[in-house]
Structures are given as structure tokens and as C-alpha cells.
Amino acid sequence: MTEALGYIINGFLIGGVYALVGLAIVVIYKSSGVFNFATGDFVMWGGFVTFSLLSIFQLPPWIAYPLALVLMGVIGIIINRFIISPMTGGMTGGGSLFAIVLMTIALAYLLRALQLAIWGPVTQVFPPLLPKGVIHLGEIDIAEEYLLYFIIAMIAIGIFSYFFQKTKVGLGMRATSEDTQLARATGIKVKLMFAATWVSALVLSWVAGVLLGSMNNLNPYLYTIGAKGFPVVLLGGMESIVGCIVGGVTIGVAENLGAGYLNQFTGGGIQEVIPFVVMVIILIFKPSGIFGQKKIERV
Amino acid sequence: MDRPAGTLINNYGDDLSAIATKPQWFILICGLILLFVSPTFLNIEQINLINLIGITLISVQGLSLLVGYAGQLSLAQSSFMAVGAYMSAICMNQLHLSFWFAVPIAAVVTGLIGLIFGLPSLRLKGFYLAISTLAAQYIINWVIMHTEKWGAGNDTITVPAPEIFGLKLTSPEQMFYLIVPLAIIATVVVMNIMRTRTGRALIAIRDNEIAAEVMGLNTFKYKLLAFFICSVFAGVAGALYGSLTRGLRPEFFNESLSINYLGMLIIGGVGSNAGTVFGVVFFMLLDWLVTWIMPLVMSIFPAFGPGAAASLSQVIWALVIIGFLLKAPRGLIHVWNRLKAWFRLWPLSY
């Protein structure tokens, strides 16, 4: 029993980071109707950019982290300006589905290849963000930094949802996602809102990248986290921030339990497919997810 | 459809015909003869390239039917190829069937697995369907890697050479005469399916699914049929790939291969039979050119590490796709048609 509880708690904590990745997908889908396949690569870039500033340029952390945040924002603006906007024509849901899917995949491959060219195919040691330690809770061991990472992830999600729900830019982004034409008519700068969308997605990915990097170092396969973002958002529902957290935590727990109990039968590696099995089941039985909206289609 | 002056359409048969005029027949037959004698003057590397193009073409023709005509986005084509390859290898290695029984069995099994993963298309469309096929990619590859006792698994497994009337097809030249006719047949089959009731139904579903349903089409049946045919093509292509390389590794059938196939469709032109051929040939030649040019780049810029050289082909691939999507979203076939139209009126274009 305590074993199971241990798996559940650790899965719960890692789920916080999955929720961040999921949120980076949701914010783009909500605002611009683009399902982003490059999120994992944004996460990887976030980790590696921060690593470069900290370890290669030897900047102190209080300069390096804000600078990395700004750099990620700039990357977001470039991607939106030169790759995404020409495709969607500056409209929510613009452009053909096939073209947009392939475009974000091509973007993912470009980022992945550039990562390989710049940082090479080796694992880089990320300077630890927080001290490591273990909390003993009865018989359950919890890594101290996992708890802190979960808290950081939740704080990041909290700041983002405040920004998205209350501030003027956030309201503009939501208005743009409801109806681009109407938003434009009421004087919202739609182009700016799309840029803000991509910047916020990249910033969220950056937080996830830094957390994952300091958890288990930076390897060039960090982008595979992006694939785990899909089950998270589909479980929670594509339109919901709360859904992201629930989805992330559920996937984290399912993965950890699977790794703990099923691997002895399958010879390892089942945690890589469990999120997808869960996802297929959700897609068949409840395609809109737990907190998603049902769509009604008209001819 | 642009036709030369004097070629009149008198009945529906003429209107549907793929090859309308005598010069077109002449060019086609000359081209085919040239293709079939080409192994006599090409070297082994070039024959291998043509073989790979043929296998890729079979797979991508199936994908073209599913994605280009039926409008159901699939990101799992390479894993269906893997199913075909491993199924035929298991049939030949474990059950000791001949190649000619193993390939149809592999194709049908792949088709059935395609049906299973096509089931979500009943309720899902668009991004959701794409993601569910992505899940198929991961799940199938994982299963293949973890079924050592059935003859698959993570290690390289050997595949026996196909046998025809006691003659073992071992060299690339011999495989050429197996693969290229099958690739041509695959192209013709897809072309002909699209000229039947089924094909028109698929196009109707792509253009507006609800409208198609209102018109009385059983959209679910046709979508499943598209998934089945697509997977059968992938199965045949996979079985041929196994027989050509004689050794299978699960890493070959990864998700980037599936993505490459979609890229070929975009490059060629979505929803066009000739465009698919253009896309496949263009992509494979580009790929070959990059691997050929790589040592040259390395020798000119030794400062580039091996990491940079390895990523070069990916960078080129991504830039080509982005370029096509932004500048020529209708693909090479559209460029080619515009070129033809320009030449038809040249030099007096008014």
C-alpha cells in the first residue's frame, strides 16, 4: 500500500511539469487554433538556452534566468512572424489543417536539428536550481526538489492564468480566440495578440525546460516530453487550464503506477506507452476531454 | 483538364481517361521501356535508390488515398509498414511460408490493424485524429520491440530472399523487377479507385463530411475502407522493404519516417496521383543528394562538427517543407501544370 502511495505521490509531483507542457499546447490552440507539435522542442530549447547562459557564458543566475526568458520570447515572436502568421493569415483557425500540422512538425524538426548543430548530441549537466534532499513521510520517500518543482510549476500556471483571465492583454487574447473579426472591430491589435500567444507558450515551455533540465540533466531527447503533452491536453480538454493540471497529474500518476507494477511483465519501457493508451481510450469514449467543450458542427 | 486542340471529348469514357492522346501513350510506353532496361546501365547504388523510391511510392500512394483524397490525417504510416515487414518476416521465418503467401498475409494483417486504429475516425477528426494515429505509431512500435518470442524484437532479424520459380531474388537488380512493377501497379490502382464511386465518395467526405452524410453516404464505412486500403499498401511496402534489405530493425520505422511521407505528399501536391509520384521522386533524390554532398561540405568547413553535418539533412528537409507550404502549397504538380499551360501558349500568351 505504501509502495502504491509512493508511486502516486511521485507521479503527482512530476505531473505538475506535464501540466506546464500541456498548458503551452492549450494556450496556442485556444488563441490561434494551431495544434502545436513543436512544444517538446520549445521545452528543449528553453533548457538548453538557459544552460548556455549559465554554464557557457558564466552569467550569474539573476541575469541568466531573465535573459533566457527574454530570448525565448524573441524566438516566439520570430516563429509567429515568419512561420505561423503567413500560414494562418492572422486568423484563428485559418489555413488548412494538414498544412498547419505539417508546418509545426517541420518547425519541430528544424529546432531539433539546430539544437543538434549548436549543442551537439551529448547530455549537458544543468547547474542545479535547488538543493537536493529527501523528505521522509512515514515510509514514503519524496525527493525534496520534486516537491519544490511542483510548487514552481503551479506558481507559473497561477501567474499565467491570472495574466490570461484578468489583464488587458489576456482579455485581448481571449477575445481574439473567440472571434478574430469582432476582436479586430473592437480595436484589439490582433497581430499583437497572436505574438503574445506564442511568447506566452514559449515562456511556459521555458519554465518546463528549466525544471526538467535541473531534474535529470539536459539530453538531446528532451523533446520527447512534447509527445506526452498531447495525452495531457486531450484528457483535460483542449480549452481548459484546470483540465491541464488534472490531465498532467493523471498522466503522471498513471505512468508511475504502470512503471511500478506492469514493467515486470513486459520487460521495461511501458511508461512510454501508457500515456498513449490512456489517450486512445479517452479519444474513443470522451473526445472532448473532462473539462472540454463539445463542438457542434454545421455545414 | 487541358488537352491539345482537336482532342474532343465525345463520351464519359473519354472524359475520365487518364491518358488521352497518342503522344501521351508514346511517351508513357517509351518511359516504361527506358525504366525497365535501366538496370543494364545503372550502377548498384542507383538501382538501390530506384528500389527504395519504388517501395516508398507504394507506401505513399496508400497514404495519398487516405490523406489526400479521404482527408483523414494519419501520422502512423511507417508503423503500418513495420507491421507488414515484421508480419511477412514472421510468416517466412517461423511458419516457413513462401514469399508469395507471406506478403498477402502481411498485407491483410496490416489492413486489419489499420482498421482498428481507424476506428477513432468515427468520432474524431482533424487534430484529434492526427493525435490518435500518433498514438498508434508509438503503441505499434513499442509492441514490435517487446515481442521477441514471436520473432520480432529490438535486435536485427534476418529475412529470407523471395523465391520465384526456384530463382532466389538476392541482388538489387532482381529485386528491381519485383518492386518497380508493384510500384506501377500501386499507382494505377490508386488512380483507378479514385475514378470509381468509392473514390468520389472519399473526395466528398474530404470536402464536407456532414454534407456527404446528408447525401446518403455511409461516411464511416468509407473512412474505414480508406484506412484499410492505406494500411494494405503500407503492409506490402513494408514486406518488400524487408525482402530488399534482408534485415529489419524497429528503429527504421520511426515517426520521422511517417512525417517524411506526409512531407512527400505536400511537396508533390495533396490529392493528386501524379503529384505523389513527383513528391516521392523529388524527396528521395534530394535525400540522396544531401548524403552525397555531406562529405564535401565536411571537407570545406571542417569547423562543423559531425553533429552539424548530421543535422544538415534535417535542416534542409525542414526548410524545404516550410518553403513549399508557404510558397507553393499546392505542390510540384501545380508548378508543373502552370509550366505546361505557359508552354502551350508560348510565345504568344494572349
Cis peptide leading into residue B120 (ω within 30°): no
Range B30-38, long-range pairs (CB < 8 A, 24+ positions): B32/B184, B35/B180, B36/B177, B36/B180
Asked if B325's CB is within 8 angstroms of A227's CB, the reply is no
Chain A residue numbers touching B136 (CB-CB < 8 A): 280
DSSP reduced 3-state for A137: strand
A124 DSSP assignment: B
The total number of residues shown for chain B amounts to 350
pLDDT, tens digit, 9 for 90 and up, residues B45-63: 889 999 999 999 999 999 9
Residues B234, B77 contacting (CB under 8 angstroms): yes
Chain A residue numbers touching B321 (CB-CB < 8 A): 102-103, 106
Q: Which residue has the higher pLDDT, B147 or A163?
A: A163
Give the pLDDT score at B247.
83
Q: What is the dihedral of CA B330, B331, B334, B335, to 10 degrees?
A: 130
pLDDT, tens digit, 9 for 90 and up, residues B236-290: 999 999 988 888 888 888 888 898 899 999 899 888 888 999 999 999 998 888 8
ipTM of the complex: 0.83
Among A86, A267, A279, select the one facing B326 at the smallest CB separation: A86
pLDDT, tens digit, 9 for 90 and up, residues B5-33: 777 788 887 777 777 788 888 999 999 99
Give the pLDDT score at A10.
84
- Other C-beta atoms closer than 10 Å to the C-beta of B105 total 18
Residues A244, A236 contacting (CB under 8 angstroms): yes
**N- to C-terminal Cα distance for chain A?**
53
Among A106, A116, A267, select the one facing B311 at the smallest CB separation: A116
| Cell numbers describing residue A178 | 473567440
Among A107, A227, A267, select the one facing B146 at the smallest CB separation: A267
pLDDT means per 10 residues, chain A with 299 residues, are 81 89 89 86 92 86 89 93 82 72 90 85 77 71 81 92 89 85 88 90 92 83 85 84 89 86 72 84 80 67
A24-60 burial, b if ≥16 CB within 10 A, otherwise e? bbbbbbbbbbbbbbbbbbbbbbbbbbbbbbbeeeebe
Q: pLDDT class for B309, splitting at 50, 70, 90?
A: low
User: What is each CA distance from B184 to B35, B61, B156, B181, in whole angstroms?
Assistant: 11, 10, 30, 5
Give the pLDDT score at B256.
85
Q: Which residues does B123 contact at the CB level (< 8 Å), separation at least 6?
A: A283, A284, A287
Say whether pLDDT at B344 is over 60. yes
pLDDT, tens digit, 9 for 90 and up, residues B105-115: 999 999 999 99
Please give the single-letter amino acid code of residue B57: L
Q: Residue A135's beta-bridge partner residues?
A: A142
DSSP reduced 3-state for B349: coil
DSSP reduced 3-state for B163: strand
Asked if B314's CB is within 8 angstroms of A112's CB, the reply is yes
How many Å is the Cα radius of gyration of chain B? 21
pLDDT, tens digit, 9 for 90 and up, residues B165-186: 777 777 888 888 889 999 999 9
Among B127, B315, B322, select the one facing A83 at the smallest CB separation: B322
Chain A positions touching chain B (beta carbons under 8 Å): 29, 35, 83, 86-87, 96-99, 101-103, 105-107, 109-110, 112-114, 116-117, 120-121, 227, 230-231, 234, 266-267, 269-270, 272-273, 276-277, 279-280, 283-284, 287, 297-299
Say whether pLDDT at B149 is over 60. yes
* Sign of the torsion angle spanned by Cα atoms A144, A147, A148, A153: positive
Q: How many CB pairs under 8 A join A and B?
A: 129
How many Å is the Cα radius of gyration of chain A? 19
